[in-house]
Amino acid sequence: MDFDLITNIIIGIVVAIVFFIAIREVILWYYKINAGIKLLEEIRDELKKINSHSKQAETQQEENKPLDKADSKPAKNPWSL
């Protein structure tokens, strides 16, 4: 008798888990949560690309800047007397 009880409990737990997974997928599909998560992941990936490109551009600009402002002279104005 104990074996039948344990078997029924295990079968009930397995059925409950399968039911939960099936209902979860239907709810996520109905409220378009899966599509929203996919879209947010794509946006995140694009922002990472943009951020990495902007960091590369900043480092290139910093490399091209003169180190000491005293060394760099302003351009002469040809219109001044």
The token duo for 37 is 């998560």
Q: Is residue 52 within 8 Å of residue 59, measured between CB atoms?
A: no
Cα 52 to chain centroid, rounded: 13
> Which helix or strand (DSSP H or E) is residue 10 part of?
helix 2-30
Q: Could you tell me the pTM of the whole model? A: 0.48
pLDDT in tens, 12-66: 999 999 999 999 989 988 889 889 999 999 999 999 999 988 888 778 777 776 5
The token duo for 50 is 């943009």
The token duo for 24 is 């979860």
Q: Is residue 56 within 8 Å of residue 50, measured between CB atoms?
A: no
